[in-house]
Amino acid sequence: MWKEIPVPFYLSVYFFDVVNPKEILQGQKPRVQERGPYVYREFRHKSNITFNDNDTVSFLEYRSFQFQPDKSRGLESDSIVMPNILVLSAAMMMENGPMSLKLIMTLAFSTLGERAFMNRTVSEIMWGYEDPLIHIINKYFPNTFPFKGKFGLFAELNNSDSGLFTVFTGVKNFSRIHLVDKWNGISKVNFWHSDQCNMINGTSGQMWAPFMTPESSLEFYSPEACRSMKLIYKEQGVFEGIPTFRFVAPNTLFANGSIYPPNEGFCPCRESGIQNVSTCRFNAPLFLSHPHFYNADPVLAEAVSGLHPNPEEHSLFLDIHPVTGIPMNCSVKLQLSLYIKSVKGVGQTGKIEPVILPLMWFGESGAMEGETLQTFYTQLVLMPRVLHYGQYVLLALGCVLLFIPIVYQIRSQEKCYLFWSSSKKGSQDKEAIQAYSESLMTSAPKGTVLQEARL
């Protein structure tokens, strides 16, 4: 189960199609329309598995995605209007640069046909598209981007691994089972501004320590978010007959430093409820949050028309079997947004008012099913239940078996008493008859004629 996860995982992607790009460039409020879901089956397998001497095991987990038309609401060929991340990010990076360089950038954008908003297919946005701007940047500013070819939001995730994880096996110290020792050879990252925020805590996000209680928490390291996350216990539940604990994100997960001081290391911060991930995303002004800015400062959702945050659709959860620490049902939902604004000297940005504009949100979900679920239910629910009630059946049967010889012994004693009683009574009768016979043989006294005649 650990090497090849039998649970089918799905990636559901929703895009925010920009309805009024021209009006945004004139300073008007953005309007978006949610499109999707575009659903992909996610395949995972571990390789390069190496058991180390310090009670750890190292592995690479590869992922690949396959589009599922029957589960999707749309096709990969659908067109989406969204912000041009490369252009608007480059403009933001040059905001404090010299005016001459900004004018050169404007001229270069115009020559290449780059605009603030682009019309691309779902497939291009997800898995990459050719852009001459990327080639120019990589040629004159090498190592600016982590990618060399196509640019896509999930291009680096498909047919690739999530880094080298080294986790504890728990053989020598059971309390450390599944905990991450190192990721890519390091025990903490350097993206953030505090040791606490840079720490790699928890597991790799697939299994947790067994024997959980309501006081337990779920902590895991996410390479995509470049940080560790902690979920808290909410309630008990049942999934397909299997008891579970539900863990959810606390309100402080993406809170800014002024509301939750431990998150100060993730700053520079803006409104509470979004996390600036620019330091681990080639300095692009990207922000991570719950979908539709759920559980964030209301001003964020109010700044964009078409957003409707609600907990039923946009909150994340993990249902864990508390005895084994294995996830039964999970749905992790996150949103990626881009901070856009007008940059003086870069003509492509027009009169855009500063706003955090959602690009897309996605949900990774998986639920145990089929033969795996049946086996799990039989071994960890049905059999313990049978054994639980079986002990009472065996106890009752033992009592019956113990009672039988007692009854037999009592009945045997009763028979012996009856036989002894009857034997004693018989001897007394014989003595009486013998005495009576002797009396008859004795001569009778006078006056007893009548008595003898009567006899």
> What is the reported pTM?
0.83
Handedness of CA 298, 300, 301, 302 (dihedral sign): positive
pLDDT band at 213 (very low <50, low <70, confident <90, very high): very high
Q: What is the mean pLDDT of residues 211-222?
A: 93
Q: Which residue has the tokens 């005649």?
A: 453
Report the chain's terminal Cα–Cα distance, integer Å.
Answer: 104
Q: Show Cβ contacts of residue 6 under 8 Å, excluding neighbours closer than 6 positions.
A: 368, 372
pLDDT in tens, 274-308: 999 998 888 889 999 999 999 999 999 999 999 99
Amino acid of residue 172: K
pLDDT band at 451 (very low <50, low <70, confident <90, very high): very low
In the DSSP assignment, the letter for residue 113 is T
What pLDDT does residue 194 have? 93
> Does 73 have pLDDT greater than 80?
yes
Rounded Cα distance, 341 and 222, in Å: 29
User: Are 181 and 171 a contacting pair, CB within 8 Å?
Assistant: no
Between 196 and 446, name the one with better pLDDT. Answer: 196
Rounded Cα distance, 328 and 319, in Å: 6
Mean pLDDT, all residues of the chain: 86
What pLDDT does residue 139 have? 76
pLDDT in tens, 167-212: 999 888 888 888 999 999 999 999 999 999 999 999 998 889 889 9
User: Are 236 and 246 a contacting pair, CB within 8 Å?
Assistant: yes
What pLDDT does residue 453 have? 39
In the DSSP assignment, the letter for residue 30 is P
pLDDT in tens, 378-397: 877 777 667 666 677 777 77
Rounded Cα distance, 148 and 17, in Å: 27
The pair of structure tokens assigned to 243 is 């008891």
pLDDT in tens, 30-51: 999 999 999 999 998 899 999 9
Rounded Cα distance, 432 and 226, in Å: 112
